Amino acid sequence: MSAPEDSDRLVQGTSNDAAISRESAARLGYIADPFIQHFVRHPQRRAPLINRGTFTRFQGVQKTLRQFLRYTSQNQQQHQTQNQVVILGSGLDTSYFLLAKDNIRAKRYFEIDFAEINAKKAATIYKKPDMRRLLPADTKVAAGGCELHSEEYCLLSGDLRLFAQDIVPRLLEHGFDTSAPTLFVSECVLIYLDPQHSDSIIDWITESVANAAILTYEQILPSDRFGQMMIENLRARGLELRGLMAYPSLESTRDRFLSRGWVSAAAIDLSDYHKKAIPQSELSRLARIEFLDEWEEFSLLAKHYAFTLAHTTHSKSFASIKLI
């Protein structure tokens, strides 16, 4: 059994794995992300089925972010837009810059991760002119290089296990508005926390943010052969999917929100998302990039990842945000 600080370090390392996969998909042309290359020192070409999975995951997250920002902005034309995005465990995610490049901005956009990861992220953003020029003009480096602060974009360092005690006061200090429409995103993050910690983040949102949506993308199905192999492979690297047994299926990830008073929740696995949400024109484009003949393997792998989208509000603009 590794010491707690060792296991934190190993979990932090998963941000590099995510970046390597994303860089592989970007370099081959599956996805358009000109920024991810800046975070990957030793690029690796991933197998076709991993690239296809990365593409599908990327589509789901980017589409939801863009839908949320579009619908919540349209709804507030008369007033100034107040929408907020909070990326939990943001790692080396480049979404803020992809949106800014297309001139899509939230009123406030927060990214939260451990200081060790954020130090690397902030330094890279400052070193790369194509990223730095997209930062708001009032951006300041803070916390010894581990944070970036501006009115619109904040990269904050902290431990999500101390959400109510530590992260929430920092969010509020930097302008988080509990009455504003807010999208929370967890892309392979809550699954690494003990359910008591991830549930307490969700409970805080339920109680405190009246107009909230959350998109999670996490592993499911621990009990079949592939699920066991997935757990064993991660365990061999000292990584534990702590939330997997508590929320092992599509139904349980959805009911997690409904049982806590969220007004709507829907879940879909990556295999079905690939079948139902990716247009034929995109599938033809992908087929020209790289031949994928391991459809059974892809489907098996993709059945073990799920998107869940839930809302705390009946508001029309939130109801328009859909996974498929």
Ligand X SMILES: C[S@@+](CC[C@H](N)C(=O)[O-])C[C@H]1O[C@@H](n2cnc3c(N)ncnc32)[C@H](O)[C@@H]1O
Binding footprint of ligand X on the chain (CB under 6 A): 11-12, 14-15, 18, 89-93, 113-114, 117, 159-161, 187-189, 192-193
CB nearer to ligand X: give 57 or 149.
57
Name the nearest CA neighbour of 306 among 290, 287, 322, 323: 323
CB nearer to ligand X: give 30 or 114.
114
Nearest distance, CB of residue 13 and ligand X, angstroms: 8
CB nearer to ligand X: give 57 or 107.
57
Nearest distance, CB of residue 112 and ligand X, angstroms: 6
List CB contacts of 237: < 8 A, sequence separation 6 or more. Answer: 10
Nearest distance, CB of residue 295 and ligand X, angstroms: 25
Nearest distance, CB of residue 179 and ligand X, angstroms: 26
Report the distance separating Cα 295 and Cα 306, nearest Å: 18
CB nearer to ligand X: give 117 or 183.
117
Nearest distance, CB of residue 161 and ligand X, angstroms: 5
Distances (CA, A) of 87 to 83, 94, 171, 222, 245: 14, 11, 12, 25, 24
Strands 264-269 and 305-311 come out as antiparallel
CB nearer to ligand X: give 185 or 268.
185
Nearest distance, CB of residue 306 and ligand X, angstroms: 14
Nearest distance, CB of residue 92 and ligand X, angstroms: 6
CB nearer to ligand X: give 12 or 271.
12
CB nearer to ligand X: give 232 or 296.
232
